[in-house]
Amino acid sequence: MEQFLQKAGAGSCSLERREQVRELAVGRMQRSELPDEDRLRWGRLALAAISGKYADGLTQQAMAEAAHVRVYMIREFGTGDADAVRDLSALCSDILRHLGVSYEVAVRLSEEWRAAPREQMLHLRRIKNMLAALLPVRALLDSDDPVIRETLVWLDLVPRLP
pLDDT score at 93: 97
Looking at every residue in the chain, the average pLDDT score rounds to 91
Amino acid at 34: L
8 pLDDT more than 60:
no
CB neighbour class for 157 (10 Å; exposed up to 12, middle 13-18, buried from 19): middle
Amino acid at 41: R
Flag the least confident range among 18-27, 79-88, 104-113, 149-158.
79-88
- For 130-139, how does the pLDDT look when each residue is reduced to its tens digit (9 = 90+)? 999 999 999 9
CB 19 within 8 A of CB 49: yes
pLDDT score at 53: 85
CA separation, residue 140 to residues 25, 76, 84, 94, 137 (Å) = 25, 13, 16, 17, 5
5 pLDDT more than 60:
yes
- For 49-99, how does the pLDDT look when each residue is reduced to its tens digit (9 = 90+)? 998 888 776 689 999 999 999 999 999 999 987 889 999 999 999 999 999
Q: How many CB atoms lie within 10 A of CB 140?
A: 15
Q: Which of 115, 108, 155 is nearest to 131 (CA)?
A: 155
